[in-house]
Amino acid sequence: RSTEMFYYMIIIGLIFGYINGMHDGGTVVATTISSRLLAPSKAVFIAGVANFLGAIVLGTAVAYTISENIIDIRPVLSGSRSLCYAFVAAAFTGSLLWNVLTWVLKLPSSASHSMIGAMIGSGICAYGLPYIQWNSIMIKVIAAMLLSPVLGFAAGYLFLRLLGWLLRNGTIVWNRRIQLLHKASSFFLAFCYGSNDAQKVMGLIAIGLAAFHHTDVTIPLWLILSASCALAVGTMTGGYNMIKTVGMDICKIDIQNSFASQLSTIFVVMLANVTGLPISATQVVTSSVMGVGASNTPKSVNWTVTKKILLAWLITIPISALIGGLICWLFQLI
């Protein structure tokens, strides 16, 4: 049964990566589509390619944050291998269930934070409260989760104002240049998102691999490629479901709004990639859209939809933790 759980752990991890792409992948190009810069099919295909390349090129700092800063890795690797597999598999399974539910409801909650929440819940069930690294979670997860949307909102607000000032005397030639820059920013945003989100899958699977091989946590090339591919295919095949919520329901989006939103998100996500913070690109994109909407006038933002999104953000970690803990308990019974 230990061997079966080991392979289940890897398979469910890659399925989670695919679902992550389905769930969040469309949000990074939602404004590109709603501003009519690119057709939906073309936008999600380009985003998928960019996801794959970004996950390979931009390093593994976030992966090591996930594998070493959520739960104390020493008792995990020195203890029962089957318990480690159950912990990892339960974290993926619990997060996946929450992501599917919010995907069906078209709520742009964070797949990343649902995975971290499920890791906390399954970690408590498998190893106990003392082995959860609460200080690290508060600084690198909770604080980043609270700060990154604020940064996204502020940057979206300021970037749109700056863009409007720079283009106050712009001609049609500048509009064409903005469209070209916007297409480049869409690709680069998906590139950054692919790196941050694929690394989370790599980091959690790597814990189980380290237990299997009796080594320290490392990220092998096959894991980088497979996690990158799973995320990219998920974006290409299911990235449409959140597009309406993020790109159309929050506020009206035009080329300038969309470009300012994407520049804001790139700034925040790149900062997170460099520092190894596992933030949610979905949260940053959504908050930046709110920021550019508020920059025009606060009345242009659909605050009813915004309240539902904020509620989903707040409940994701605790609910995922509960689901992850219950599934880990069931796996241990099995």
- What pLDDT, on the 0 to 100 scale, is given for residue 108? 62
pLDDT tops 60 at residue 291: yes
What is the distance between the alpha carbons of residues 204 and 88, in angstroms, rounded to a whole number? 7
pLDDT tops 70 at residue 241: no
- What pLDDT, on the 0 to 100 scale, is given for residue 243? 66
Residue 202 or 306, more confident: 202
| Structural domain boundaries enclosing 284 | 2-333
Confidence of residue 171 (pLDDT cuts 50, 70, 90): low
43-66: per-residue pLDDT in tens? 888 889 999 998 888 778 888 888
DSSP states along 101-137? HHHHTT----HHHHHHHHHHHHHHHHH-GGGB-HHHH
- What pLDDT, on the 0 to 100 scale, is given for residue 124? 94
Q: Where are the alpha helices (DSSP H) in 138-254?
A: 143-166, 172-213, 221-238, 243-244
The neighbour count for residue 270, using CB atoms within 10 Å, is 17
Domain count, the chain: 1
For residue 242, which of 40, 52, 16 has the smallest C-alpha distance? 40
Q: Return the percentage of the chain with pLDDT > 70, whole number.
A: 91
- What pLDDT, on the 0 to 100 scale, is given for residue 35? 75
- What pLDDT, on the 0 to 100 scale, is given for residue 276? 74
174-219: per-residue pLDDT in tens? 667 777 887 888 888 888 888 878 888 999 999 999 999 888 889 9
Confidence of residue 315 (pLDDT cuts 50, 70, 90): confident
Q: What b/e readout covers 157-185, taking b as 16+ CB neighbours within 10 angstroms? A: bebbeebeeeeeeeeeeeeeebeeebbeb
What is the distance between the alpha carbons of residues 30 and 38, in angstroms, rounded to a whole number? 10
Residue 13 or 262, more confident: 13
The neighbour count for residue 5, using CB atoms within 10 Å, is 19
Cα 260 to Cα 139, 177, 263, 293, 294: the distances in Å are 28, 14, 5, 10, 12
Average pLDDT over residues 290-311: 75
Confidence of residue 85 (pLDDT cuts 50, 70, 90): very high
Average pLDDT over residues 219-244: 84
